[in-house]
A and B are shown apart, each in its own frame.
Chain A
Amino acid sequence: MNVHQVGGLANMDYMVRNRQNKWRMDMTVESDLIQITLQSLLISGSAALLASAIGLPAGLILGLKKFKGRAVTIGVFNSLIGLPTVALGLILYLAFSNAGPLGFLGLLYTPLGIIIGQTILVTPVMISVTTETITSVDDSIRELALTLGADERAAAFTVVRESFGGILLASSASFSRAIAELGVALMIGGNIRGLTRVLTTSIALETTRGEIALGLGLTLILITLILIVNAGLGLLRKRVQWWLWE
């Protein structure tokens, strides 16, 4: 992760930007690229994991328990899926700003700030999709399990096991939305080089700078990353499902 910092400080000359030093420049672009990609993965991966940690139990409760206001709650989370990222970015900027109520936490312009923002952004996706899958397998399977002598808790576990595919889909959708969003990363992170610069903010920056080819390259990396993670989760799904059923 520190490749860029160390390399960048050690060889200053590339920044003089003359043509002879072009190769050094490319080297740095390369290590910058790796750093930005890792930062994206780390930030959005943490956000997706946190969202899963919050959304899975919440989805389970919403899917399995019948309580008053359940339909409204589900409706609220379904709507929150469509929350525009810039709107959330703006709200969080106002909250995290030094003049805002949460300014004392010092989260503005930090990776942790982006993680929190993206977690808030994708948790509704996690909750809604989990709730929906659990609701759809709920009745038949749960009753079957109960008839076969399972207690409530074991029956609930059977339902989760049955909806594992949907839960995994919820996680991968959360990750994809987190890594592909721009609004929160830009407004909370500020696109600071080597610190809060991620793939989407780089794409936006390079495009404004007229470095279209570089922007396109970053776009390809982003799409490839999303594909790899989803393929990985697909493989994981088979493994884990097999393990769950033993």
Chain B
Amino acid sequence: MTDMFSGTYRRGIFVQRETRIAVAAVLVVVILAGTSYYIYWNQNQGRDMLVISTTTSLYDTGLLDVIKERYEQENPNVILAFISAGTGIAITHAKNGDADMILVHSPSQEYSFMNESYGVNRKIFAYNYFTIVGPSSDVAEINQTDPISALQMIYNYGHAHNTSLWITRDDFSGTNSKEISLWGAAGYNYTQLRDEPWFVSSGVGMASTLNIANEQSLYTLSDIGTYVKYKSDELISLDQLVGEGQELLNVYSAIVVNNTTVSFAKFDLAMDFLQWIVGLTAQQLIADYGVADYGQGLFFPVVDMLESESPTQIFGWIREYAFFNDGEDLYECPPGWRFGEYGLYG
């Protein structure tokens, strides 16, 4: 000990060593910061970032990865930045000016978003169905019934037995808001249902909710995409008990953030993407997605059908469910909420 101390306390040496260490530390920090800035700059050089807040079902199924890849290939100067969140938070992002566009599936929430003049130029770009899934034992015997009676049977069974039976996401997502309206149509008040002992609240995303339902043999409402992916990967053994049908329709729309209300929004960039996603290439991508992997498409393209206004059953359903009432008529996007001349609305 004494050896090390003796003779080493010449001030100069210490000052020199302290300085050396300090200089080295500063250098390391500067070099690292410089490198990361360089890489960041290099990645984004001359490329505009379009931030799109999106519902989880579109992102978690992988559809948006395909869309991103193709769009960026065709438009090398654009980076599509998808922020995957529920419909609720996606709308909040857009209102705060943190997203330039939203891809969501909840017509009522979309209506108030546009009504508060946050969004313009709405286009429906895909649809599929929600589905009521449950354990194969199907204690409430809802298989093959219609959605409304299925929910009534689940309510009756749950009420009689008081064991956990139904799991709700309870997170204001598009799926959750669909569930709330379905319970309403079946004659029950969702807020009151939440207090029932057989009514379980997960508070997490679709995938985790499906896992819980699977573990605990519960019924739940799921979007078909997430369900099919989980089912075909054999992660869950839940069965699809009530599918398709008007009440279970799930419609995805794209809404551009209004840059007169939210000044940060990149309107032109968002319009380019909007026109692309309702175009031929994107609609084909949507139709093909999942066919090879799951033996069925997860989403159906919709633009051709809406443009031809063909009087099919599904067109009628979409019109009734996802179109907005403006005066006497129903519109995909009411004329007052259309900005610019893009020829999007026939």
Contacts and interface: CB of A to CB of B under 8 A. Distances in A.
Interface of A: 1-2, 5, 8-9, 12, 15-19, 42-43, 45-46, 49-50, 52-53, 97-100, 103, 108-112, 115, 144-145, 148-151, 153-154, 157, 190-195, 205, 207-210, 212, 244-245
A109 B233 contact: no
26 contacts: A2-B42, A12-B73, A15-B70, A16-B288, A17-B292, A42-B39, A49-B29, A50-B29, A98-B264, A103-B264, A110-B40, A111-B36, A111-B40, A112-B40, A148-B6, A148-B9, A151-B11, A153-B11, A154-B9, A190-B51, A190-B81, A193-B65, A193-B82, A195-B44, A208-B207, A209-B207
Interface of B: 1-2, 4-6, 9, 11, 14, 17-18, 25-26, 28-29, 32-33, 35-37, 39-40, 42-44, 49, 51, 56, 60-62, 65-66, 68-70, 72-73, 76, 79, 81-84, 95-98, 205, 207-208, 229-230, 233, 235, 262, 264, 288-290, 292-293
Contacts of B11: 151, 153-154
Contacts of A9: 72-73, 76
Contacts of A150: 5, 9
Q: Which 3 A-B pairs have the closest CB atoms?
A: A98-B97, A99-B96, A18-B292
B69 A15 contact: yes
Contact of A209 (B2, B37, B43, B62): B62
Contact of B4 (A99, A192, A245): A245
Contacts of A99: 95-98
B100 to A, nearest CB: 11
A115 B36 CA distance: 10
A137 to B, nearest CB: 14
Interface residues of B, dominant DSSP: helix
B43 A19 contact: no
Contacts of A144: 1, 5
Contacts of B84: 191, 205
A151 to B, nearest CB: 7
A221 to B, nearest CB: 20
A1 B39 contact: yes
Given A1-B43, A8-B69, A154-B11, A209 B81 contact: no
A145 B5 contact: yes
B36 A210 contact: no
A190 B69 CA distance: 18
A46 B320 CA distance: 53
B9 A15 contact: no
A211 to B, nearest CB: 8
Nearest to B96: A99
